[in-house]
Amino acid sequence: ERAPNGRPLRAVGSFLNITRRKEAELERERLELLIRQAQKLESLGVLAGGVAHDFNNLLTAVLGNLYLLRQAVPEDPALRELIDDAAHAAERGAALVRRLLTFGRPDIAQDEVLDLDTLVAESAALARPMVEPQVKLVIQGGPGRALVKGSSSALEQVLVNLFVNARDAMPDGGTITVSRSTVMLTSKRRWAPPELPRGRYHVIAVRDTGTGMPPDVLEKIFDPFFTTKPVGRGSGLGLPTALAIARAHGGWLSAESTPGRGSIFRLLLPVLDDGEAR
């Protein structure tokens, strides 16, 4: 409404709070992304497992014949060196195949009752020569005992991989902080996929003070063969294999990152009650 001279006197309007609608849209997008990621990993796992199995058979024949050839050739150092180089390359290929098989079809014995504080301490002891003194590795225990059922060697592989990746994200030094907690997983946890059963989980969080990752990189870090490391320094199978091992234990591996502020990886493992441990 305006006065005769054209000056506004009053206005009528309405406001609608759409905060909940926007939150619901963001939550739906997050769940859709997690579902797509899980489906993609499932498909890639089947493909990788099949290819790796066939390739492993081929490498077995190559290595076997190289061994027989080395025994049959005369004492010719130059020729034997060529054979050894070929065998070394084939063995590296076999090691890559083993990692592909672990990613595609993790066959992990889960008959060990593990104390997570002990597991973290032993993994840290393995990783310290690789990460220190470039960075500081800090271990923060959690309340009470934390028991899970699984494979100590497989879970050590996951943790050591996370420690080394955190080191690589801090070329100028920094701090890796490892903490443990127990959570009741509900649909509100933004770092847990919707297909993960609700319930109690132990969470080992590995946080670094490194360079962080932009969203487009963060979205791809669990894709096989994706790596931001220079050629020859990373196969792109470390994190996909770590996620496959976590899933084989009934858990999950999630990542959050902010450029310039670092990253945090969370390893979720189902709680094993004292009664189940006996």
Mean pLDDT, all residues of the chain: 81
Q: How far apart are CA 65 and CA 59, in angstroms?
A: 10
Residue found under tokens 């094993």: 272
| Residue-level pLDDT at 222 | 85
Q: What is the pLDDT of residues 165-198, one digit of tens each?
A: 999 999 889 999 999 999 888 766 667 777 788 8
Q: Which CATH architecture has domain 112-277?
A: 2-Layer Sandwich (3.30)
| Residue-level pLDDT at 42 | 59
- Name the nearest CA neighbour of 206 among 153, 152, 250, 167: 167
CA distances from 93 to 65, 81, 139 (A): 15, 18, 35
pLDDT at 137 over 70: yes
Q: What is the mean pLDDT of residues 161-168?
A: 92
Provide the whole-model pTM: 0.67
Are the beta carbons of 72 and 82 closer than 8 angstroms? no
Instruction: Decide if 1-105 and 112-277 have a common fold.
Output: no
| Residue-level pLDDT at 60 | 83
Ranking 52-56, 116-120, 199-203 by mean pLDDT, the lowest is: 52-56
pLDDT at 248 over 80: yes
| Residue-level pLDDT at 122 | 93
| Residue-level pLDDT at 138 | 93
Q: What is the mean pLDDT of residues 131-138?
A: 88
As a whole number of Å, the CA-based R_g of the chain is 25
CATH number of 1-105: 1.10.287
Residue found under tokens 């902010």: 258
Are the beta carbons of 124 and 162 closer than 8 angstroms? no
186 vs 152: which has the higher pLDDT: 152
| Residue-level pLDDT at 179 | 95
Q: What is the pLDDT of residues 83-125, one digit of tens each?
A: 888 888 888 877 777 666 665 556 566 678 999 999 999 999 9
Domain boundaries along the sequence of the chain: 1-105, 112-277
55 vs 33: which has the higher pLDDT: 55
Are the beta carbons of 158 and 246 closer than 8 angstroms? yes
Q: What is the mean pLDDT of residues 124-134?
A: 87
pLDDT band at 253 (very low <50, low <70, confident <90, very high): very high
pLDDT band at 46 (very low <50, low <70, confident <90, very high): low
162 vs 247: which has the higher pLDDT: 162
